[in-house]
A and B are shown apart, each in its own frame.
Chain A
Amino acid sequence: MVVPSLKLQDLIEEIRGAKTQAQEREVIQKECAHIRASFRDGDPLHRHRQLAKLLYVHMLGYPAHFGQMECLKLIASPRFSDKRMGYLGAMLLLDERQDAHLLITNSIKNDLSQGSQPVQGLALCTLSTVGSAEMCRDLATEVEKLLLQPSPYVRKKAVLTAVHMIRKVPELSNIFLPPCAQLLQERHHGILLGTITLITELCEGSPAALRHFRKVVPQLVEILRTLVTSGYSAEHSISGVSDPFLQVQILRLLRILGRNHEDSSETMNDLLAQVATNTETSRNAGNAVLLETVLTIMDIRSAAGLRVLAVNILGRFLLNSDKNIRYVALTSLLRLVQSDHSAVQRHRSTVVECLQEPDTSLSRRALELSLALVNSSNVRSMTRELQGFLESCPPDLRADCASGILLAAERFAPTKRWHIDTILHVLTTAGTHVRDDAVANLTQLIGGAQELHAYSVCRLYSALAEDISQQPLVQVAAWCIGEYGDLLLEGSCEETEPLQVEEEEVLVLLEKVLQSHMSLPATRGYALTALMKLSTRLRGDNNRIRQVVSIYGSCLDVELQQRAVEYNTLFRKYDHMRAAILEKMPLMERGGPQVDEEAEESKEARLSEAAPVPTEPQASKLLDLLDLLDGTSGDSQHPPLDPSPGGTLVHLLDLPCAPPALAPIPNVKVFEREGLQLNLSFARPSEIPALLLITATATNSSGSDVTHFVCQAAVPKSIQLQLQAPSGDTVPAQGGLPITQLLRILNPNKAPLRLKLRLTYNHFGQSVQEIFEVNNLPLETWQ
């Protein structure tokens, strides 16, 4: 009995009836099995219904690739319902990467030329959605014919299909450019909309087309004017604005045509003013048109008065209660801020208010715009606003806000103290979100502002005492305390409240940083070095510091351990030099990461040049490098190293790269019989790489002499062989003097070396002849 197949509605009912995901999967899998069987049987009557079901489950995420060939069969069917379903399936299931895709080209061609209007519409729709470059080339002429057909339904679809074709195959613009002039004269809005899109695509694709279409600017102006001034037309109007979609498209095209072109811009001026003033702004449609008008005015060479009008409209938008309008206004102002900076500045206060929006889309836009509006005159107030925003903003905007503030501060800081304050504030509020070079920048800044050393260190100390979790802040604070610890203890800073700090407190704080699990290894490095520097700055004894430093001599972190060991050594062996080494640092140059380390290295280098004996830790480092080098280069020669540490680095890099000596090729035993042995030894002089010298040595360990020994050799044709005269033809018994013979082989092509040897000799009263090929030639003989 034939089970009737489920209708689409019934299947959907069943799927909705499933209570769990597993049940749904079961239902769908069962049905898919039915569908597959039905496709196999080739039932034409129900094919479109089966495909409909398949498309439904495809939308839910289940595999549907076995339906692709069915789409082809449906498209080829004469029935409209089949074609409709088949084309839909093709658009949803096929793409350029499937083979089935090309096979529909023929069906589309037939439908385009002979189908009824709805069928032509379907074919055009499919072509514009999944048409590949080859399909577009094949079918371009068909589509061109349809452009000038009487039915507006087909023409509007043909125009949009042309847009797709030009995107896929830009050369087709030649075919589709000429009909545009006639299409522009249509009155049907659908065709006009498509035509404007087509012209826009053509103009964006080629400057020649752009010039060509500047001629139609007056025509476009007329069309737009008719739209704007015509009365209420129920057909196309949306909330009282006639066909806002068409208006927006025309305005976009005018923008492209008028950009950088005086004459076109002239022609448009009046119309733009008219649209800007007359458009109804109470509903979304009107605002869409108005916004597009504003953007066009700002982009072309418009009159100054018009530009002012445009920016004022944007300003009004910013105050609109509709959030969408505010969003679009902020986006547009961001586009304009580069070109019309002063005009946008006028609305700065409104923009800043938008920072307080709860809607993250809006506040993000407002942030970008605020940062773009900071300049030297408003930097203080803007930074205050932005810092306020930083404290309360959502986490995904924090990083952008922090780096924005730091950047603005760098460009426009009125005073150094203000700059330091600002960076400090950012580090305390959003320290974990700042960029890595903020630390370097701040230390460099502080280092350069000598009058502010006391102030900075006091503020940093208070900040650190409150919170040791923000790593960039801790790093800078540690560095400052190390450098200017003496100023901190003096407490002589007038600009902040007097701070009475005891030495113990400072040490305790730094130790806390060292031990805290929140501190990164780099931070602990800073803290340790700071402690060390304090050993010269503080007046008390250094036992506590020495204790800490020696503890860290066995720290697991290698970097810390190394520092601690070096500092320990400074205490024990080089105490007399400690003060000099730990002096205040000179101003570093800006630029590149690791500025601190570089400066410290160069400072140490300078100091040790002054002292005749290089400090031990540094010397040991150098010797280690030398050892490494000695190990690798083996017997290669290098010039003796200059003992001065400053120049050593350069010398190491300057070492010549001696080529490695050629390893000798091993000897090969090629023949042995009754005590007579033939050995080959090889040599390849490096001056002539193609030359191989083989020395054949015949030795006799038997009790009888070998006489009349003759050795002949043969090699492949591509190799040249020269046999030189042997040293003799008798090998005496019991290890007597061997016979040696030199063979010269020239192998310029590096062909694989094959050697055939023929030996004839008399041994034990018998004449022997041996012919053999040498199998065990090492590769180095011919490679």
Chain B
Amino acid sequence: MIQAIMVFNNHGKPRLVRFYQRFPEEIQQQIVRETFHLVLKRDDNICNFLEGGSLIGGSDYKLIYRHYATLYFVFCVDSSESELGILDLIQVFVETLDKCFENVCELDLIFHMDKVHYILQEVVMGGMVLETNMNEIVAQIEAQNRLEKSEGGLSAAPARAVSAVKNINLPEIPRNINIGDLNIKVPNLSPFV
């Protein structure tokens, strides 16, 4: 079973944090920091497996990580998962992100955190591997995005704006404003009121 999935950058700032085992909030933050410190110590040409830190359960759990450019993807798993298999799973996840975001980079993960969660939910559910076929995952995500767009969001904004203006109680507008030498004729606004 997968205990947790963490994505953070080279400075330890979290970009995605998902726990499949309940930990209290402060412990969650500490675990992210502890994992970052453990992973940072590793050189680039040594193996991708580490024993889990003490906060997450110690040597019963393993940290399997991959380093892509500025991001670390870390999966914390127990002994029932195949280590090499999880390495492949991380690759599948990253490639799926790539397909969904068109050449994904760290900024995409920063600004679309919710979308990354939705994609992750199609790969891993309840700490278990759900689907590894990238095409299926991408198709599902695109269907959901279409559903969300059709419901409202941006396309409904102009309609909402008009109804908002309609609701404003405008006082009586004078037809003519006479101030000294100035004589302004106020145009008829009735179609908009």
Q: Contact residues of A with B, CB < 8 Å?
A: 8-9, 12, 16, 45, 52, 55-56, 59-61, 63, 79-81, 84-85, 88, 92, 95-96, 116, 118, 121, 124-125, 128-129, 153, 156-157, 160-161, 163-164, 189-190, 193-194, 197, 235-236, 238, 243-245, 248, 252, 284-285, 287-288, 291-292, 323-328, 331, 358-359, 361-362
* Bound-complex Cα distance A257 to B84 (A): 23
* Bound-complex Cα distance A96 to B130 (A): 23
- Nearest-Cβ distance from residue B61 to partner chain A, whole angstroms: 14
In the complex the two chains form, is A125's CB within 8 Å of B125's CB?
yes
Q: How many A-B residue pairs have CB under 8 A?
A: 146
Residue of A nearest to B92 (CB): A238
Residue of A nearest to B23 (CB): A95
Category for how many chain B residues contact A:
35 or more
Q: Which residues of A contact B91 (CB under 8 A)?
A: 238
Contact of B84 among A61, A124, A284 (CB under 8 A): A284
In the complex the two chains form, is B113's CB within 8 Å of A324's CB?
no
Near A by CB (< 8 A), chain B positions 24-44 give 25, 29, 43
Determine which residue in B46, B127, B151 has the highest number of CB atoms from chain A within 10 A of its CB, and name it.
B46
- Nearest-Cβ distance from residue B40 to partner chain A, whole angstroms: 14
In the complex the two chains form, is A292's CB within 8 Å of B82's CB?
yes
Contact of A324 among B16, B49, B128, B132 (CB under 8 A): B49
- Nearest-Cβ distance from residue A298 to partner chain B, whole angstroms: 15
Residue of A nearest to B139 (CB): A153
Q: Which residues of A contact B114 (CB under 8 A)?
A: 8, 52, 55, 85, 88
Determine which residue in A61, A88, A161 has the highest number of CB atoms from chain B within 10 A of its CB, and name it.
A61
**Given A55-B113, A190-B131: A153 and B83 interface contact (C-beta under 8 Å):** no
* Bound-complex Cα distance A116 to B131 (A): 20
Contact of A118 among B87, B136, B143 (CB under 8 A): B143
In the complex the two chains form, is A96's CB within 8 Å of B128's CB?
no
In the complex the two chains form, is A324's CB within 8 Å of B47's CB?
yes
* Bound-complex Cα distance A243 to B51 (A): 27
Near A by CB (< 8 A), chain B positions 131-169 give 131-133, 135-136, 140, 143-144, 147-148, 151-153, 160
* Bound-complex Cα distance A80 to B146 (A): 11
**Given A79-B152, A245-B88, A324-B48: A163 and B83 interface contact (C-beta under 8 Å):** no
Top-6 shortest CB links A-B: A128-B126, A288-B84, A359-B46, A323-B47, A327-B47, A61-B29
Q: Which residues of B contact A194 (CB under 8 A)?
A: 128, 130
In the complex the two chains form, is A328's CB within 8 Å of B113's CB?
no
Q: Which residues of A contact B130 (CB under 8 A)?
A: 156-157, 160, 190, 193-194
Contact of B87 among A81, A84, A324, A326 (CB under 8 A): A324
In the complex the two chains form, is A361's CB within 8 Å of B22's CB?
no
In the complex the two chains form, is B152's CB within 8 Å of A81's CB?
yes
* Bound-complex Cα distance A248 to B153 (A): 43
In the complex the two chains form, is B111's CB within 8 Å of A323's CB?
no
Q: 1/0 per position for B96-132, CB-CB distance to A under 8 A?
A: 0000000000000011011001100100011111111
- Nearest-Cβ distance from residue B15 to partner chain A, whole angstroms: 8
Q: Which residues of A contact B17 (CB under 8 A)?
A: 59
In the complex the two chains form, is B45's CB within 8 Å of A235's CB?
no
In the complex the two chains form, is A80's CB within 8 Å of B151's CB?
yes
In the complex the two chains form, is B126's CB within 8 Å of A163's CB?
yes
Q: Mind listing 17 A-B residue pairs with CB under 8 Å?
A: A8-B111, A59-B16, A81-B153, A84-B148, A116-B147, A118-B140, A118-B143, A124-B125, A160-B128, A164-B126, A193-B131, A194-B130, A244-B88, A245-B132, A285-B84, A325-B84, A328-B84
Q: Which residues of A contact B71 (CB under 8 A)?
A: none
**Given A284-B87, A324-B49, A361-B47: A160 and B126 interface contact (C-beta under 8 Å):** yes
Q: Which residues of B contact A197 (CB under 8 A)?
A: 128-129
- Nearest-Cβ distance from residue B25 to partner chain A, whole angstroms: 7
Q: Which residues of B contact A327 (CB under 8 A)?
A: 47, 49, 83
- Nearest-Cβ distance from residue B10 to partner chain A, whole angstroms: 16
Contact of A9 among B25, B111, B127 (CB under 8 A): B111
In the complex the two chains form, is A60's CB within 8 Å of B14's CB?
yes
In the complex the two chains form, is A359's CB within 8 Å of B88's CB?
no
Determine which residue in A56, A193, A245, A323 has the highest number of CB atoms from chain B within 10 A of its CB, and name it.
A245
* Bound-complex Cα distance A331 to B51 (A): 12
- Nearest-Cβ distance from residue A693 to partner chain B, whole angstroms: 64
In the complex the two chains form, is B128's CB within 8 Å of A163's CB?
yes
Contacts A59-B17, A95-B22, A291-B84 aside, 12 further interface pairs with beta carbons under 8 A come to A9-B111, A55-B114, A59-B14, A118-B144, A125-B121, A157-B125, A189-B133, A238-B132, A245-B129, A248-B85, A288-B84, A359-B46
- Nearest-Cβ distance from residue A152 to partner chain B, whole angstroms: 9
In the complex the two chains form, is A362's CB within 8 Å of B92's CB?
no
- Nearest-Cβ distance from residue B24 to partner chain A, whole angstroms: 9
* Bound-complex Cα distance A190 to B144 (A): 19
* Bound-complex Cα distance A362 to B147 (A): 49
Q: Which residues of A contact B47 (CB under 8 A)?
A: 323-324, 326-327, 359, 361-362
* Bound-complex Cα distance A197 to B130 (A): 10
In the complex the two chains form, is B88's CB within 8 Å of A238's CB?
yes
* Bound-complex Cα distance A327 to B20 (A): 26
Q: Which residues of A contact B87 (CB under 8 A)?
A: 284, 288, 324
In the complex the two chains form, is A244's CB within 8 Å of B22's CB?
no
In the complex the two chains form, is A324's CB within 8 Å of B84's CB?
yes
The answer, yes or no, to whether B89 is at the interface (CB within 8 Å) is yes
The answer, yes or no, to whether B94 is at the interface (CB within 8 Å) is no
Q: Which residues of B contact A85 (CB under 8 A)?
A: 114
* Bound-complex Cα distance A238 to B93 (A): 13
Contact of A56 among B89, B113, B148, B151 (CB under 8 A): B113
- Nearest-Cβ distance from residue A336 to partner chain B, whole angstroms: 15
